[in-house]
Structure 1
Amino acid sequence: MSRHLWVTALVLASVHTLAWAAELGPEQSEAKSHGIVLYNQHKAISAEPYLKIAAEAGDREAQYYLGEAIRFNKRYMTEEAEKWYTAAANQGDYYAMYQLSGKGSDLCNAMGNCPAGTKTAGEWLLQGRETAKALADKGDAEAMYVLHFLTNKDEWLEKSVAAGYPKAQWYLATMYREGKGFFIFPGRRSDRIKELFKGSAEGGYPPAMLEYAGILRLEGNRDEGWRWIKKGAETGNAAIFSDYAYSYSDAENRWGTPVDYVKSYGLMSLLLELNGGGGMQVFVEGELPRIASHLTSEEIDEAKKIGADWKSTHPPLSFFPDKLGFW
């Protein structure tokens, strides 16, 4: 069988596998959701046992995130991480194929002692490209975005942007801001960056909301910028939420927001639930006493209610690390 036919067979097998992937029960589904939240909060060690429950039940997304958590904790591709990436990849997960395509020098292959059926990094890369392209050809904008990293071809990033994938729009905007690309008219670069961040923000991608808000502020439109900060905070993105919460206790904040120490204290307190994940703990513990100095005990009780109300009506605060594992 030719290499092309072999890879095509693997892709078809992966797609077929999706049809019989096990469905999770309520407890397994809850464990998976909780594990992903913990992972997104930079609590990968705590996430592992929850993700493992769903991964062992055959859930490919849980398998991928478990591989990510293990690799993040160990800071390298361990045998255990590779096992779970492989399980996800065998169910058609091209993110897992991407991770396996960069697993290093293929030591077992070089030593000639790989277990039977083990694919090399190059074989995973080829399968990842074929899998993502099959979906991209059907209009899958996310697959186009990942295909950019699997092929190192800018055309796939541009296609993903044209298809309206918010993360691709944000990524291309950051690349243009760093000097990538050629623009005949100097002002066109900044216009295009703004267009891309705006499109990505409108598509619901929080980092773009923060970027677009900053552009609006520099243009003198602080009210519209603040609206995007609030919208970003409501997604649970910890970086934007901290800006939103802190601004209410800063009389000279860059958004011109009126001081509201009660609201600031209530919202800032929620960041303590990240338990140090992402380095937020030091910042919050330093600011809360300052804010509390402006409040009575009754106002602090009111602030706690504001925090509780926010928590009950919004997603958990998280850092949302890149799914491709850029850390």
Structure 2
Amino acid sequence: MSRRILMTTRIIFTLLLLLPLGCQANTQITPNQDSAKQQGINLYNQYKATSAIPFLTTAAEAGDHEAQYYLAEALRKKNHYMNEDAKKWYEASAGQDDLYAMIQLGRIEHDMCEISNDCSASQKPAIEWLNQAKKIAKEKADTGDAEAMYIMYEITLEDAWLEKSASAGNALAQYWMAVSIKQGDGFFLPWKRSEAVEKWFKLSAEGGYPKAMMNYAALLYERGDVEGYRSWVEKTALTGYATTVFGYGADLAHEPDTFGYPLDLIKGYALIYWLSELDGGGGMKENVEYTLPRIAAKMTAEQIEAAKKFSKEWAASHPPLSFFPDKLSR
């Protein structure tokens, strides 16, 4: 097995580990329902909340707590506020001990349900959901669960929990540790602060978190390690992180030639063409419409057809495009 395949396998495995902390038991769903759930999550992660709703509904109605949580998130984002349907699905998920759903319910203070007085009564007051989430997360954190430690940070906003989670190996916590230190939190000598930022970005990047991977790549580029930068950009693109897929594809096609990648028009065109499926998700439509014709102008008709075929094969053999939004959104 090649080194690249090994790295790709590790990244994909790590991303699976980043999936949310679930319940001890969850309703079993059929393969078709699970496929619909995964498609819904993929669409949600591409900023297509409305398109995700029918897919997530299939698994949510079958009792899957994670689908119920994502469905609630999608409904809330579609309507720009908490409404009856969103709250119903948050509560269904929270009823199965989904910590993320509990926290979202616990964050509700004043929503449109309360203002319009057209929603059914809540199962519990917001503070009770939050306290329940805290109790369960604390128990898990005390056993060494790194994700539960991060959940404790989200609930309490105590930096000690963030550091504990990061030290225990949670890639998301490591990323936010780096961001926090970079923004000035903590007490460091100037050169020690930059060392700490790099340390946490590197650990998170090695753990497979795409946003950290790009931040670490940027640090390498800043100190003149262009080869290291190119390597990490390629690794990030392999995760399906849409922002990096665009940059990597444009770089390969020399649009522009900034980082010294060998010219590869077919692969560059293929990656940008792949982004067309986002159809506006994350603001990529304008980037694709501007860049794709510029690459095509350098290619023959045969090369363009080969690139489209390559794009289809790439999409089938790599993780889906994603913007990797925070699971616990605001």
TM-score (norm 1): 0.89
- Is 1:124 matched with 2:126? no
RMSD over aligned CA atoms reads 2.2
Instruction: Decide whether the 8 Å contact of 1:31 with 1:51 is kept in 2.
Output: yes
- Tell me if structure 2 keeps the 8 A contact 1:210–1:228: yes
1:262 to 262, 266, 281: 266
Equivalents in 2 of 1:154, 1:234: separation in Å? 32
Q: Which amino acid aligns with 1:218?
A: E
Q: Which residue of 2 aligns with 1:233?
A: 237
The CA distance in 2 between the partners of 1:131 and 1:95, in whole Å, is: 12
- 1:199 corresponds to 2:203: yes
Partner of 1:308: 312
Displacement, 1:279? 0.6
Change (3 A) 1:300 1:114: closer
What is the CA–CA distance in structure 2 between the aligned matches of 1:132 and 1:138, rounded to whole Å? 10
Q: Does 2:278 align with 1:280? A: no
Alignment of structure 1 residues 53-72 onto 2, 5 Å: 53-72=58-77
Q: In 2, are the aligned partners of 1:98 and 1:128 still within 8 Å (CA)?
A: yes
Aligned residues of 1:251 and 1:258 also touching (Cα < 8 A): no
**Residue 213 of structure 1 aligns to which amino acid in structure 2?**
A
- What secondary structure sits across from 2:282 in the alignment? helix
Paired position in structure 2 for 1:144: 149
The percent identity for this pair of structures is 48
Determine the structure 1 residue equivalent to 2:184.
179
Q: Which residue of 1 aligns with 2:90?
A: 85
Corresponding pairs, count: 309
Aligned counterparts of 1:113 and 1:268: Cα–Cα separation in 2:
46
Distance 1:301 1:137, change over 3 A: same
> Which residue does the alignment assign to 2:326?
322
Contact 1:106–1:121 (CA<8 Å) still a contact in 2? no
Q: Cα deviation per residue 1:15-50 (whole Å; 9 max; x = unaligned)?
A: 9x743x320111111111111111111111111111
Q: Which moved more, 1:314-323 or 1:200-209?
A: 314-323
Q: Is contact 2:137–2:152 with CA below 8 Å preserved after alignment? A: yes
Residue 39 of structure 1, aligned match among 41, 44, 47? 44
Where does the alignment leave 5 or more consecutive residues of structure 1 unmatched? 1-14
Amino acid aligned to 1:99: Q
Contact 2:146–2:169 under 8 Å retained in 1: yes
- CA-to-aligned-CA distance 1:291-316 (integer Å, 9 cap, x gap): 11111111111211221221121011
Query: Among 79, 96, 100, which residue is 1:74 paired with?
Result: 79
> Is the 8 Å Cα contact of residues 251 and 259 (structure 1) preserved in structure 2?
no
Separation in 1, partners of 2:113, 2:328: 24
Aligned mates of 2:160, 2:261 — CA distance in 1: 42
SS at match of 2:260: coil
303, 308, 314: which is aligned to 1:299? Answer: 303
| Residue identity matched to 2:126 | A
Query: Are the aligned partners of 2:59 and 2:67 in contact in 1 as well (CA < 8 Å)?
Result: yes
Task: State how far apart, in whole Å, the 1-side matches of 2:119 and 2:311 are.
Answer: 53
> For 1:148-197, what per-residue CA distance to the aligned partner results, in whole angstroms no more than 9, with x for missing partners?
110121111011011010000001101111111111x2100001100100
Distance 2:308 2:241 in 1: 20
Provide closer, same or farther for how the CA distance between residues 259 and 92 of structure 1 changes in structure 2, counting only shifts above 3 A.
same
SS at 2:312's partner residue? helix
2:18 paired residue number: none
Q: Which amino acid aligns with 1:77?
A: M
Task: Output the CA distance in 2 between the equivalents of 1:87 and 1:44.
Answer: 19
Task: Specify the alignment match of 1:9 in structure 2.
Answer: none
Query: How far is 1:142 from its partner?
Result: 0.9
Distance 2:187 2:27 in 1: 48
Q: Structure 2 unaligned runs (5+)? A: 1-20
Specify the SS of the correspondent of 1:191: helix
Q: Which moved more, 1:301-310 or 1:156-165?
A: 301-310
Q: Do the aligned partners of residues 126 and 291 (structure 1) sit closer, same or farther apart at CA in structure 2, a change above 3 Å counting?
A: same
Runs of 4 or more, structure 1, over 6 Å off, are 106-114
2-side partners of 1:34 and 1:275: how far apart?
16
Q: Distance in 2 between matches of 1:116 and 1:79?
A: 10
